[in-house]
Amino acid sequence: METFIIITFILGYLAITLEHQLKIDKLIPAVIMMAICWALIALGIEHFDTWFDSHTHELVTGFGEFSHHEKSHWLESSLLHHLGKTAEILFFLLGAMTIVEIIDYFDGFSTFKNYIKTRSKTRLLWIFTILAFILSAIIDNLTATIVLITILRKIIADNKVRMWYAGLIVIAANAGGAWSPIGDVTTTMLWIGNKVTTAKLISHLFIPSVICMVIPIFIASLFPVFKGQLEKVTQPSPEEIHDTTYSSIMLYVGLSMILFVPVFKTLTHLPPYVGMMFSLGVVCALAEFFSSKNFKLTSIDGHIKDSGHHSPVHKSLSKIEMPSVLFFFGILMAVAALESLGLLYEFAESMNQAIPNTNIVILLLGFGSAVIDNVPLVAASLGMFKEGIDDPLWHFIAYSAGTGGSMLIIGSAAGVVAMGMEKISFFWYLKNISLLALLGFLSGAGAFLIMQ
């Protein structure tokens, strides 16, 4: 049965990579793959001898001797656990995307755009990637990518050129998220799990992360696509133009409320999505207040009007990339199925035994995170290694898992979002960006090992 589950995952993954050739949206194989994997687990639960407890990050002792009822209980418990963890990420994503869309509704990003006067493609590349590196450490790599690609759309009209910028923003955002405890979900896992502290994480990973970003951007800046000046952006249609009276206010309030999320988490010790929902509520309330003069619930003759038509919240929610959200859900839950059976854990253990050099294992972990989501891989590493807090091993894991995902477009949350927002194909990214990401990853890893 395990073989069928692995084959299902491989076929589903292959269908995702061949999205444009098959002419089907990537969310379809993702959710089908997820459903089939869990269905096969449920049908063959009696025949499985191993089970991975995601709460303790260890294999369940004596699982093969459990009764059918006990195994079914473990299945239901794990499925609910993974659904909860996935929902945390998805609701965080939905909240961040909605805030960004509300800011965009008020044309808030024009404030940033007004500061960017240069038309040089090379200078613009450095400006956006440096912004991605800094913002991702503060508001996480996922949100930073959403924000910057949204701004990019206001400046660059040509989608083919914009894809290059978006791909390099992904590299910079993942590099920036690796050295901050709130910059990437994997570093947050290590931080919450008392494996790293903020000060040591920054001091160990800042320089390698900078190198991981600078090398690819410098090489890319020499490419013909980044030579010359940008063409002027096409003017928006009349229906896309909104009152810009509150543009700056909505920009600063929106970004401030996103920045407030880690503060909320520190104060309450609640998951980040709770703080994001609070921030979303505040931004929505302010948006409705500012736009209330544009619509009323009833017309003069007493008939109910569609208030949602003019509501910035309704309008912003209608623009959310739900296919990307469902794709992310399918991928995470499918990988969770492999994790629950202990397949990822056993694979990591076998690698650890076959390759005595821990640094090589962690480098391979970085390559693995480009193919399989880095969250379960880091979760497996928490059970594999027993080193104490702030051991260099944990910092290297944070770097490898955080930046290794840049090597494939579906290897990180930032890449998945960029893929959805700019319709970047898997093979386009593989052909044009992956090698740059690989060079950056290896350069930063080399810098880390030299520093140690």
171: pLDDT confidence band, cut at 50, 70 and 90? Answer: very high
Q: Which residue, chain included where needed, has tokens 């589903």?
A: 12
Torsion of the alpha carbons at 8, 13, 19 and 23, rounded to the nearest 10: 0
Residue 266 has a pLDDT of 77
Residue 433 has a pLDDT of 92
Most confident of 112-116, 185-189, 235-239: 185-189
Residue 176, classified by CB atoms within 10 Å of its CB into exposed (0-12), middle (13-18) or buried (19+), is buried
| pLDDT above 80 (res 315) | yes
Q: Which of 7-16, 111-120, 190-199, 372-381 has the lowest mean pLDDT?
A: 372-381
Instruction: Please report, rounded to a whole number, the percentage of residues in the chain having pLDDT higher than 70.
Output: 89
pTM: 0.74
138: pLDDT confidence band, cut at 50, 70 and 90? Answer: confident
What average pLDDT does the segment 378-383 reach?
A: 70
Give every CB contact of residue 409 below 8 A, 6+ residues apart in sequence.
167, 170, 415, 416, 418, 419, 424, 426, 429, 430, 433
What average pLDDT does the segment 14-28 reach?
A: 79
304: pLDDT confidence band, cut at 50, 70 and 90? Answer: very low
d(CA 117, CA 364): 42
Residue 244 has a pLDDT of 61
Chain-centroid distance of CA 130 in Å reads 18
CA-to-CA dists, residue 282 to 45, 135, 221, 253, 255, angstroms: 46, 21, 40, 9, 12
Do 427 and 163 contact (CB within 8 A), yes or no? no
Beta-carbon count within 10 A of 148 CB: 27
pLDDT by residue (tens digit) across 317-342? 888 878 878 887 888 888 889 888 88
Nearest alpha-carbon partner for 148 in 103, 178, 188, 106: 103
pLDDT by residue (tens digit) across 104-131? 888 887 776 777 777 888 999 999 999 9
Summary mean pLDDT of the chain: 83
For residue 381, the cross-strand partners are none
d(CA 130, CA 148): 11
| pLDDT above 80 (res 238) | no
174: pLDDT confidence band, cut at 50, 70 and 90? Answer: very high
Composition of the chain by helix, strand, coil, percent to 5: 75, 0, 25
Residue 300 has a pLDDT of 43
Residue 217 has a pLDDT of 95
Residue 24 has a pLDDT of 84
Residue 306 has a pLDDT of 45
Nearest alpha-carbon partner for 320 in 186, 417, 203, 412: 417
